[in-house]
Amino acid sequence: MRAAYLANYFITGCAASSLLGWIASLHPMSARAIAFLAAATFILWGLCWLLDFSVSGWLKISVQNLQALLLAVLAMVLIGAGVFLCS
């Protein structure tokens, strides 16, 4: 059951990424906003990788779990955006 809920949250992330892509395709201004959001997220993601020990202590999870979470976030964004762009 744990795998089921992780998979569901993963699908949520993918669908949300596709939705952000769809919002970005509506208007150039929304595309800029989404691009800014993506850039901020990417910087935050990189900082989390660099400061993984501090962030894991702050979130009260293990470093391995934090790294798995970051990889899952990357995979969600790539899959969601990829599905939207390639369709």
User: Which stretches of the chain bind another protein, using CB under 8 A?
Assistant: 1-2, 4-5, 7-9, 11-12, 14-16, 18-19, 22-23, 25, 83-84, 87
- For the bound state, the minimum distance from the C-beta of residue 22 to another protein, rounded and expressed in Å, comes to 5
In the chain, count H helices and then E strands: 4, 0
Shortest distance, position 17 Cβ to another protein, whole Å: 10
DSSP per-residue letters across 48-74 = HHHTHHHHHHHHTS-HHHHHHHHHHHH
Nearer to another protein, 7 or 63 (CB): 7
Separation of alpha carbons 16 and 6, rounded Å: 15
Q: How far is the CB of 80 from another protein (least distance, A)?
A: 8
